[in-house]
């Protein structure tokens, strides 16, 4: 039924767009933290373009079953609808494999890449701050950490 397909498509669309929004947030943080001042700054125009691309990407993948590449079907308990992942045909399986690759695994790898370098940059900065503090005979880099006593 059309309502089932629409329900599944909208759920899938918002799932894909949420994941890809997290990808672009990770890339923005990568840009700011790893590249620093040499990074191209985020503008409103660029942010709106990225949001447009995220939704276009999501629409592509979620409209495909409505247009014949796989399909949306009621799930086991018949209270929700989703992508048909049980049909054993190559036509149906190919959608699941390609969809999973571009809607889940690619974003996962991009986020892992970005945060790997973010953590590496933060650790490097922290190490250089500790080294600088040693040269200046500073015992702690934490603000207000005099004698490690509590104000309570």
Q: Which residue ranges make up each domain of the chain? A: 2-133
Please state the pTM of the whole predicted model.
0.82
Q: Is the pLDDT of residue 127 over 70?
A: yes
> Three-class SS of residue 81?
strand
With cut-offs at 50, 70 and 90, classify the pLDDT of residue 145: low
Averaged pLDDT for residues 75-85: 87
β-pairing, 81-83 vs 72-74, is: antiparallel
pLDDT of residue 114: 98
Fill in the DSSP letter of residue 72.
Answer: E
- Cα separation, 152 vs 125, whole angstroms: 32
Q: Is the pLDDT of residue 10 over 80?
A: yes
Phi-psi domain of 77 (left: phi exceeds 0; alpha: psi -120 through 50; beta: other)? alpha
Q: Which CATH superfamily does the domain covering 2-133 fall into? A: Rhodopsin 7-helix transmembrane proteins (1.20.1070.10)
């Amino acid at each position: 039924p059309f309502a089932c397909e629409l329900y599944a498509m909208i759920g899938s669309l918002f799932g894909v767009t949420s994941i890809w929004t997290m990808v672009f947030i990770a890339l923005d943080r990568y840009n700011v933290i790893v590249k620093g001042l040499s990074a191209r700054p985020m503008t409103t125009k660029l942010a709106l373009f990225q949001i447009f691309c995220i939704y276009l990407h999501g629409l592509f993948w979620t409209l495909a079953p409505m247009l014949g590449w796989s399909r949306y079907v009621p799930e086991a308990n018949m209270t929700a609808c989703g992508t048909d992942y049980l049909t054993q045909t190559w036509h149906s399986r190919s959608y699941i494999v390609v969809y999973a690759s571009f809607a889940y695994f690619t974003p996962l790898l991009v986020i892992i890449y970005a945060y790997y370098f973010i953590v590496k940059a933060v650790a490097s900065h922290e190490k250089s701050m500790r080294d600088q503090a040693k040269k200046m005979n500073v015992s702690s880099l934490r603000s207000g950490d005099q004698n490690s006593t509590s104000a309570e």
